[in-house]
Amino acid sequence: MRPFHPQFILEVLPQLVLYLPVTAAIVVGTVFFGSLFGILLAAGRIRRGRAGRILANLYIYVIRCVPSIVLLFLVYYGLPELLNTFGVNINDAGKGFFVITTFSLLFAASMAEVFRSAYEAVDKGQREAAVSVGMTEFQAFYRIILPQCIRVAIPNFTNALVNLMKEGSLAYTIGLIDIMGKGQLIIGQNHGSYSLEVYLALFVLYWVLTILIEKGAGLSEQRLAPDRNRRGGLSKCS
């Protein structure tokens, strides 16, 4: 039986926590670029144009079918060569660049679905009513449609975010040092021993992160719930 040192978990946790900002940066960067691309995809599916819809659907279908690790390696080995043919040299780009590119490509597909279902969940009459009381198209979207969309989108967005954070742990396979990568380094420094302790510490970290994200989402959903304000208003009327 291999030796097991529970106290090493506590020793290793602070070292891993130091690399949380890297993990967070990957997630934040991906959410930013992935959402931008996701909006384009969702627009392609909602708009009338046939070509846009077919392209967006095809992209989402392909991405849904491809394991993240395959896409990560494809981007890591393929993107520099592809851009090289156009005369762009990104061989000096950091690992983070490839990780954020890969996960943005993946995240955009799930975000497109989140945006589309949120947009379709809001009644068409809302926009018409807003425009009919004299709002501009932009005002109607920003003040009436968007707040409702956000509330509908929160559960799906949370799911996508948690998945992104978990898949992000694959970044260590191309050598990025986030919490997972640091864990592997620590195991390496100890010549392969303490692996169980390090993995357990990582379990704790990822689990806590997931719970925090879900709790945060639950709170913001509550805050955005319309019933809270409306009930007071209604009772005044009656």
Partner 1 sequence: MQLNTQFMWETFLDVLQGIPVTLKIVVVTLLVSSPLGFLMAVSKSGEGRIGRRIIVAYVSVIRGTPVVLQILFLYSLLPTVLNYLIKEVLGSSYNIFNLDPIFYAYVVFILNTTAVLSEVFRSALSTVNRGQMEAALSIGMSRPQAYVRIIMPQALVAALPNICNTTVNLLKSTSLAFMMTVKDITAIAKIDASFGYNYLEAYLVIFVVYIFLCSAVQGVFHLTEQGVAVYKKPVVS
Interaction between residue 15 and partner 1 (CB under 8 A): no
Restricted to residues 205-234, the positions that interact with partner 1 (CB under 8 A) are 206-207, 209-211
Rg value, the chain, Cα = 22
List the one residue from 77, 132, 142, 215 that touches partner 1 (CB under 8 A): 77
Residue 75 in contact with residue 98, Cβ under 8 Å?
yes
List the one residue from 15, 148, 195, 220 that touches partner 1 (CB under 8 A): 195
Residue 111 in contact with residue 34, Cβ under 8 Å?
yes
Residue 128 in contact with residue 180, Cβ under 8 Å?
no
List the one residue from 16, 22, 71, 105 that touches partner 1 (CB under 8 A): 71
Restricted to residues 155-184, the positions that interact with partner 1 (CB under 8 A) are 162, 166-167, 169-170, 180
Q: How far is CA 172 from the centre of its chain?
A: 18
What is the rounded CA–CA span in Å between residue 121 and residue 117? 6
Backbone angles phi, psi at 226, to 5 degrees: -75, -25
**With CB under 8 A as the contact rule, which of the stretches 28-36, 65-73, 133-141, 226-234 interacts with partner 1?**
65-73
> Residue numbers of the site for partner 1 (CB under 8 A)?
1-2, 62, 64-71, 73-74, 77-78, 81-82, 84-85, 162, 166-167, 169-170, 180, 195-196, 199-200, 202-203, 206-207, 209-211
